[in-house]
Structure 1
Amino acid sequence: MKTVFMTGVTGYIGGSVAARLLKAGYQVNGLVRNEKDIVALTAVGIQPVAGSLEDEAVIAREAAAADAVINTASADNPYVVATILEALAGTDKKFIHTSGSSIAGDKARGAYAATEPYTFIPKNPRLEKAARVAIDRAVLAADGHYSVICPTMIYGTGTGIKKDSVQVPMLTEAARETGHGVYIGAGENRWSNVHIEDLANLYLLVLEQAPSGSFYYAENGILSLKEIAVAISKSLGFGGKTASITIEEAIRRWGMEGAHFGLGSNSIVSSVAAHNLGWLPVHNNLLSTIIKNDRD
């Protein structure tokens, strides 16, 4: 049985990826900080490794001992990535780093910006995303069997400990508080999206088949934020009623990152590389999932 060391196993992406790997017959050793999470991970078959992202020695030891490593804890932590790369140097062990498609984002404040879908890392990302892009490029340039997966707006119920995603729940909470769906500005900005189960399947596929130095966007659909707001409104019994908020209001509610690059931007990408690898996503309707999940 092959062993995969993972960071982020208590999170939405990491927990779902770990569950998929366990189902495929892998042993998963997961970095975990809290005692209560140790109990929960053990219950689902994950071998807990006590430590945090600041425990470089623990991360290095576990990375070196495992057959492969997957980082889902942070797209923006260069220390964790550097520690893993150093631990795997000179080996042919696989490493998958998790980025995020806000690297292709703009600061549109809810406006639609027509653009060709990105298929690779942007050559000239916005300054706010330059550090994340630098990590992605460093992983791909390193001498080893390394890949980067870049999820888009993720939806669906997680199959690990954490069940909820980020962006859709942010909008749902705001709708519950205000009595209507919300979007920033005109709400015409668009995001590519992907179901969590399809995303977990992509991690397994990349782990088993991807060549070194490969980069994959994960997407299977695209929607405007206004369309999502309408669906949330209907799901909560508000009859599709929506209202716009300003970027300033959004910043007060969600912070700079959440407002500008989580919900106010365009992030339009293509998963052509993943499809070429053999990825076959089966979920393609974020709107119906919103309505079903909230009604359930």
Structure 2
Amino acid sequence: MSGTKTHFLVTGATGYIGGSVLTRFLAHPHADTFQFTAIVRDSQKAAKFEELGVHAVVGSHSDAHLVEKLASEADVVIAMADCDDVGAAKATLEGLRKRHTLGSRPIFINTSGTGVLVDDAKGMHSTDTVYDDSDADQIETLGSNQPHRPVDKVITQADAEGYVRSYIILPSTIYGIATGRLVELGIQNPHSIQIPQLINAALDRGQAGMVGEGKNLWPNVEVHELADLYIKLYDSIVADDATGHGRNGYYFGASGEHSLYDVGKAIGEAMVTLEKSSSPEPTTFTQEDLDKYFGGSPYLGTNSRCRPTHSRALGWSPVNSTGDMLASIRPEIEALIKKKNAGVA
């Protein structure tokens, strides 16, 4: 690492994952030895980051020249923005290649997702296929056309070339309303994507829904426990060169597992309690529903099953369960209703 400070570049710092992770790093026992730079689109949010001691550069992670320049000045990059932006990944790697020429081998922690594991179940069945993040050979069988896979492969190839140490964290269905200083300052989005999408669709149609019969299975993880995984991984990297990276550097962010039906039923029950629906039973989304709420895609009806062996080997020990995930749905609905009534987009 260079100088007296470890220089971090973070992308997605105003997002649900990124803000939660940055909040954890700002409270790290060695935070006084860290210097953070964040790429931020909003100049007002940038000013608030500066108040927290985070250097904020107004711009976009899709600006290749900017990303390359900032990455070339970083010891560690933590990417938490668009996990399908190959251009941003390549720009980051070009910057890290330049950093490597100065004599160090920088660290690249990228955020992917267990969406890379999905099939085409359309909610009609589960699967017995479970991917283990400690089994590199199994992960290598994933097709190049799977979601997120193009970015993952570009990054692991860079590790194989020797100029960067790459680590890929793959969150599953993340739940819970994020809290912390960044949320309090209005910098960070406190809401996830998948469950709120289902909630907003249910509120609009007056009944909870599911793809097909909702038999498909997905893992889940609470947002603050996911953020802890980034800390565990980083601490392991700096403490032990043997921490798996590159081809062996996949880390699933998963704690429990649920079916889409379970989520739909929990949404339905909460809506009945809140007098937003007359029935707790989720019904199958029509193609018109999929078009209206999910861009026409049956993606939420896929299976994505995994075992976080590698992550737990770091000492990551999430305690929240699927029961906690289901219990989080009513507060999420109440928060989204309040947000909508307040006219907040």
TM-score of the aligned structures, taking structure 1 as reference length: 0.91
Q: Shift in Å at residue 64 of structure 1?
A: 2.1
Which residue pairs with 2:342 in the alignment? none
Which stretch shows the higher mean deviation, 285-294 or 11-20?
285-294
Alpha-carbon deviation of 1:16?
Answer: 0.9
Q: Determine whether 1:195 maps to 2:230.
A: no
Quote how far apart the aligned CAs of 1:168 are. 0.5
Which secondary structure does the structure 2 equivalent of 1:65 belong to?
A: coil
Pick from 278, 281, 298 the counterpart of residue 260 of structure 1.
298
Which residue matches 1:94?
A: 107
Contact 2:7 2:35 in 1 (8 A): yes
* Aligned partners of 1:8 and 1:73 also within 8 Å: yes
Letter in 2 for 1:127: N
Matched, 1:288 2:320: no
| Cα distance change, pair 60–3 in 1 and its aligned pair in 2 (3 A) | same
Worse-superposed segment, 71-80 or 286-295: 286-295
The more displaced of 84-93 and 179-188 is 84-93
1:114 aligned to which of 127, 132, 138: 127
Partner Cα distance (2:332, 2:53) in 1:
27
Change (3 A) 1:156 1:138: same
Q: Provide closer, same or farther for how the CA distance between residues 66 and 128 of structure 1 changes in structure 2, counting only shifts above 3 A.
A: closer
- The amino acid across from 1:11 in the alignment is G
Whole-Å separation in 1 of the counterparts to 2:169 and 2:282: 33
Q: 1:57 aligns with which of 42, 56, 65?
A: 65
Aligned match of 2:154 in 138, 153, 156?
138
Over the residues paired in the alignment, what is the CA RMSD in angstroms?
A: 2.0
39-48 vs 175-184, which moves further: 39-48
Query: 1:222 is matched with which residue?
Result: 257
d(CA) in 2 for partners of 1:266, 1:122? 18
Alpha-carbon offset, residue 247 of structure 1: 4.6
The structure with the larger Rg is 2
User: Structure 2 counterpart of 1:97, which letter?
Assistant: N
Deviation at 1:282, TM superposition (A): 2.4
Query: Partner of 1:125 in structure 2?
Result: 143
Q: Which amino acid aligns with 2:132?
A: T
Structure 1 runs of 4+ off > 4 angstroms?
none
Distance 1:185 1:283 in 2: 28
Unpaired stretches in structure 2, ≥5 consecutive residues = 134-138, 183-187, 238-242, 336-345
Find the counterpart in structure 1 of residue 266 from structure 2: 231
Partner of 1:66: 74
Matched AA of 1:87: G
2:10 paired with 1:6: yes
> Structure 1 CA distance, aligned partners of 2:208 and 2:316?
33
**Quick check: 1:149 aligned with 2:149?**
no
Verify the 8 A CA contact 2:123 2:213 in the aligned structure 1: yes
Contact 1:21 1:28 in 2 (8 A): no
In the aligned structure 2, how far is the partner of 1:44 from the partner of 1:240? 44
Q: Deviations over 1:243-286 (max 9, x none)?
A: 22135531332114xx332x111111111110112111122221
| Contact 2:67–2:91 under 8 Å retained in 1 | yes
Judging changes above 3 Å, is the alpha-carbon distance between structure 1 residues 201 and 64 closer, same or farther for their aligned structure 2 residues?
same
Task: Tell me the TM-score normalised to structure 2 length.
Answer: 0.78
Residues 1:271 and 1:103: Cα distance change in structure 2 (over 3 Å) = same
Q: Distance in 2 between matches of 1:95 and 1:167?
A: 26
CA deviation profile, 1:22-42 (whole Å, cap 9, x unmatched):
111143211011223323433
1:250 corresponds to which of 255, 278, 290: 290
Shift of 1:72: 0.8
Does the 8 Å contact 1:190/1:268 carry over to 2? Answer: yes
Structure 1 residue ranges without an equivalent (≥5):
none
